[in-house]
Structures are given as C-alpha cells and as structure tokens.
Structure 1
Amino acid sequence: MSPAVKGAYAAAAAGVATVVAVAVLQVPADSDGVAARPFPTVGVLMAGGEHWCTASVVDSPHGNVVATAAHCVAPAGEDGEPGEVAHDGLAIGELAFAPGFSGEGAGSQPFGVWKVRSVHVDDRWTKWGDDTADFAFLTVEPDAEGRSLQETVGEGGAPGPDWTSGYEREVTVVGYPESDRNPENKPVSCTTQTRHDEDDPDMLYIGCSGFWTGTSGSPWIADRGGPGEPGRLIGVLSGGDTDVDSTAALFDERAKALYDRAARD
C-alpha cells in the first residue's frame, strides 16, 4: 500500500495512539538571552512562497545540500512515464528553503530564505512513483555575501548521510506541520525506534503523533548526541496514513548517487 503523503496540501486522517517522546520544540534562551534553536538545520521548504514541505541541511563538501521527499519536488511517474502534476494536483512552483522558520503568518526566517538551484530525484520516482525512492537532494544558491547555507546555520550542526543503515535505529524526526494545525509554525519532534513498515517492509516506520500534512521531507536522524554530535541522516519522511503513522525510504546507493550530484552542482 502506498502511504498517504504528508506534503503541504494533501489530506491526512487523524489517528489515536500512544505518544512516544513527542514534543513541540520550545525555543530556550542562552546565557546572553538570545533564543537558542535546537534544530537550526531543519526548516520549511517553500513553493511559490508558501509552506510546502519540510527539509533539512545535510553535511556536504560545499555546505549547499538540502534533503527532502521526492514527492515535494517532483511529480510521481507511472508505468515508466513522468507525472504531470504534484501529488495534490497543484503546480509545485519556485522552491526555496527557510531553515529555523517559526512564528505566525510570514513568521521569522532567522537564517534567511535560500533559493533552490537544482533538484536531484531518482528515476524510480519520476518514472514509476516508487515509494522506496521518495527522497530528493537539492542544491541551494549561496547568499548575497557568498556564504554557504551550512556555514550560516552552523558548520558542525548538519548530520552526515548514512547510506548503509539498518532498519532498526533510534532516530529523532523533526518536521513542520502546516499552519492550519500549527499556527505558530513550531516544529514538532519525536525520538523513537524505527522498524519495518508492516504494509511495505522495504519502508521504515515510526509511530509518533503530530506529524500532520506539511511534515513530508522531515529528517530521520540517528546517533544524534549533544553539541558536535549532529548524527547521521538515514532517510526523510515520505508519508503515513495518519498523523501518528509515518514512513520513510531508507537511504541507499541510489540516494548516494543523487547526493553526490547535488554536492557537485
């Protein structure tokens, strides 16, 4: 069964389940009274200036690579032919990334808004709509001062990719539900164990409430520790039939090939 996507406008049915280490991320103040942001590398992927999905910075040589779900940036193909529209029937629009985004309405973009220069998606998705290839890597432009995205959000804060992960890992998943259910645009976070999805054993599964529409592309980060231990990115949120059930395609060698292309672009 193909999971229901959790992009910007796709419908997601509510479910009832036990909450597992779920929290709306609070923004504490540091010793100087400046708001600290525990996940500055995670933010909103915008299409045409609107919250479309979630995305995150992944460590790369030039500091300019962002990971998200393939369905957030490219229509699913069918029977070997490219799709024509996004999962919700809408045009995707010009893409940009706002890390650390929060606040009502237009909100605050503490690290700016970064224009997406190129999109790298697997043919398994664009021709066949294969859920196990529902990941994408984006290359973003430097800012007006020539700085990289990773330099701006913090060089040591971006998780590195893991291309050979197993299915059973403790992960932290961070995402931005759309503003209808999250008017202050605060990210939600869950730390829990992954396992094989019962409906599709090739997919990863977690059970955490609060991952509504808009959280597609949320990073699944393993081995995350304290400062200087950003962990390893093993996948991004692909879908789920309710806000509690979430799935991800495990990164593989094909994902690495996309990442390598994005890192060179």
Structure 2
Amino acid sequence: MRPASVALVTATALTALVTLSGCGGTSQAADPAQPSARPFEGLPFTGVLIADGEHYCTASVIDSPKGNMLATAAHCVHFQGEDASEGYEPGPITGDIEFAPRFSGAGEGTFPYGKWKVSGVHVPTAWTEDDDDRGDYAFLTVEPDAQGRSVQEVVGAATPDWSSGPRRHVTVVGYPNESYNPGNRPITCTTDTRQDDDEPYMLQMRCGGFYDGTSGGPWLADHHDARRPGRLIGVLSGGDTDAESTAVLFDKGARELYERVARGTAKSA
C-alpha cells in the first residue's frame, strides 16, 4: 500500500471536503422531545483525524487481525468526481493524516495516546466510481508506534457487525469542529435508529449537536462502556441539520472491503 498522501492539506481543502459532502449540518431550534448530545470523557478507541495541524473528522479503531485499522466516512478522506465542479481533483485528499485517539482540550489539545500516522486509505468503488453516497465509509490503516505496538493494542477497538438491521439502539460519538466546540470535547448521544425514508440503505437518528467534524463517528449498537463497546454497525455520514444524522449501514460490501484491507490485498486510494 502506498502512503495516503504526499503534500500537506490546506485548511481550505479540508473545509471544502466536509462541506461538499454534506457532513454535519446547520443548527435548528431545539425540540424539547428530542435528545441532544452531551460532552463526555470520550472512548479510548475513538478520536479525530488531523491534517495540517487541524482536526476535521472523527474516526475509531475497528477490530482487525493486525490491529491497525480505523473506520471513518469516505468523504473525510476522498473527493468524489462530482466535486471537480468546485475546483477539486477527484481522489484522496493530499496531506499527511494522523489519528489522535481520545483527543480533547482547548487550543492545541491533549493527546493521551499520541498520534498515529495513516498509511493507507480504502474506500468502496460505489464512492470512487459511482459518486454514490451508499459508499460513504472508509477503512484506514495506521502505522505502529515507536515501540512497535498496533493502535488496537494500545486503545482497544470496536467489533464490526455486517448484518445489522436498521432499527437499533445506538451510541454515537463525534468531535464537533472547534467553532462549535471550543474545548474540543467529544460528544455522545444514545438513541434509537430507523431506516431513512429517502435513502433506504441509510440509518437515521435524531439527536441535536452533531455539527461538522462529527462525520466518521462510530454508531455503536448495544454500547455499555469502553470495556463493552457494543458492535460497530456504521459511521456518521451526514445530515441536513445538526439534529438529524445518517449513517451507511455496514453490509456485505463493507465486509468485503474490510477483509481485503485486513489481508493487505486492497489497493489504497
């Protein structure tokens, strides 16, 4: 697998990447009957993607044989062909990407488990060739740390579920961008999902507070705590507002891509 990038990503390109793909959403009036996300201490295996010194999306460690894989949204790491109309070349973002598990704190923040260099970016052909939102997930590989440990050895991981139905009780975790979240604290919401009426391959949940930056965050079914994280059934893809979020439900295609990446036979984007 070739490295994910060569040159540094600019802040403008990062903003375009998440904006063009519709991640997060605009604010709307609070509905007293609807839950809202709350800040919390975070999960060891969930953190932020960082490029050009800024965090811009959420990712989590997914259980794998080599312990070196992350799950996030495809639009966090790869421009679609339709984005070319906005002046951006289709393909992976150009920049050194790092993963910072359990990142938190104002300003530069703190990195309790360090930063892990992304070495490979893998997105489905539905995303790269068909510009289809049903492919809005990605599996990344990261390099070992200086001691030779895998990221999973250090922070743990969530086990994927490839056969989930659309109605689940989930805990969703994300990192809103600093403009919405000056303390850079992770947020979480536990609620029920349903099938999206307009895009039946998508899960939908209603919970306030999932602004830009939360894209790629894990949807964990039957989550209890860090020791009992539940099952990863998808990652946050988008939503028209901060209070209505969607995720592509992991399926057979997602499993096939995951298995190729785990075997080391998948071509990096």
**Which category describes the TM-score, using the shorter chain as reference length?**
0.7 to 0.9
Partner residue, 2:149: 147
Residues 233 and 91 of structure 1: is their aligned pair in 2 closer, same or farther, counting only changes over 3 Å?
closer
1:183 aligned onto 2:185: no
Q: C-alpha distance in 1, partners of 2:97/2:251? A: 25
Helix, strand or coil for the counterpart of 1:109?
coil
TM-score of the superposition, structure 1-length normalised?
0.84
Deviation at 1:174, TM superposition (A): 0.1
Return closer, same or farther for 1:115/1:217 CA change in 2, 3 Å cut-off: same
57, 60, 63: which one aligns with 1:59: 63
Q: Could you tell me how far 1:227 is from its partner in structure 2?
A: 5.6
The answer for the alignment partner of 1:107 in structure 2 is 109
Who is 1:22 aligned against? 37
Q: Identity, % of aligned pairs? A: 54
CA distance in 2, matches of 1:220, 1:134: 14
SS of residue matched to 1:254: helix
Which residue matches 1:69? 73
Q: Deviations over 1:114-147 (max 9, x none)?
A: 0011111001101122111100000100001100
User: Which position in structure 2 is the counterpart of 1:263?
Assistant: 262
CA contact (8 A) 2:195 2:201 kept: yes
Matched, 1:134 2:136: yes
- SS of the residue corresponding to residue 45 of structure 1 reads strand
**Which amino acid is the alignment partner of residue 52 of structure 1?**
Y
Q: CA deviation at 1:250?
A: 0.5
Unaligned ranges ≥5, structure 1? 28-37
Compared CA separation, residues 84 and 133, structure 1 to 2 (3 A): farther
Counterpart of 1:147, as a letter, is R
Distance 1:94 1:9, change over 3 A: farther
CA distance in 2, matches of 1:248, 1:216: 9
CA contact 2:81–2:89 (8 Å) conserved in 1: no
Q: Deviations over 1:20-54 (max 9, x none)?
A: 162111x4xxxxxxxxxx51111001123321210
CA positional deviation for 1:197:
1.4
* Matched residue SS, 1:128: coil
Partner of 1:243: 242
Deviation at 1:153, TM superposition (A): 1.1
Inter-partner Cα distance in structure 2 for 1:233 and 1:206: 15
Give yes or no for contact 2:72–2:235 (8 Å, CA) kept in 1: yes
SS in 2 for 1:241: strand
Unaligned runs of 5+ in 2: 1-14, 265-269
Give the distance between the partners of 1:74 and 1:86, measured in 2 at CA. 10
Q: Which amino acid aligns with 2:80?
A: A
Q: 1:96 touches 1:113 (CA, 8 Å); kept in 2?
A: yes
Kindly indicate whether the alpha-carbon contact (under 8 Å) linking 1:7 and 1:214 is maintained by their aligned counterparts in 2. no
Name the CA shift for 1:216/1:86 in 2 (closer, same or farther; >3 Å).
farther
Deviation at 1:93, TM superposition (A): 1.9
Aligned to 2:203: 204
SS at match of 1:125: helix
Q: If the length of structure 2 is used for normalisation, what is the TM-score? A: 0.83
Aligned length: 243
Q: Counterpart amino acid of 2:111?
A: Q
